[in-house]
Amino acid sequence: MKNSNTTLSRPQKIEKLHWHVQHWRSDLNFMKDETIFIERLLNAPIFESNTPDLFGKLHDYRNRLVTYKSRKNKLMHLISTHEKQLGRVMENNTENVVTDFYHKHDDLEMELLDCTDNFKSLKSEIYNFIQGNLKNCEVNVN
């Protein structure tokens, strides 16, 4: 947890940490929905058949999404464990325990940020690929 100029009471700090955990979980759940959408796009018959190495690229993107999902699931588990530890920290008055928890919180936050940044890059790469290789379909608007 980054230091700020404002001094928070211990309950306020705990509340802020809990808010972070809830926010992380929400972000990962949203990315889960995005992943489902991207997988559907990659499996849809929407690509020009003459795209060089189309099937190789689609296979690579699918594999990278599997790797991302595995990492996301690991993070969800770590977040759940972290949240349970937060409950123990609330009951513990030992400063070393609290300080250790803050360090673990920062480490988990950095792991989550790295995961979300990697997902954003992958998503951008996939969207750019899709945009450049869509079939030309006529749309009838009545």
Q: Is 4 exposed, middle or buried (0-12, 13-18, 19+ CB in 10 A)?
A: exposed
pLDDT tens column, 57-77: 999 999 999 999 999 999 999
137 pLDDT above the threshold of 80: no
pLDDT tens column, 79-119: 999 999 988 888 877 777 778 888 999 999 999 999 999 99
Structure tokens at 16: 């802020």
CA distance 42 to 71: 20
What residue ranges do the domains of the chain occupy?
A: 10-45+54-129
Residue of higher predicted confidence among 49 and 63: 63
Give the Cα-Cα-Cα angle 134, 139, 142 (nearest 5 degrees).
Answer: 165
Mean pLDDT of the chain: 89
CA distance 86 to 17: 8
Structure tokens at 21: 């955990």
State percent of the chain over pLDDT 90.
Answer: 63
- Candidates 33, 41, 17; CA nearest to 108 is 17
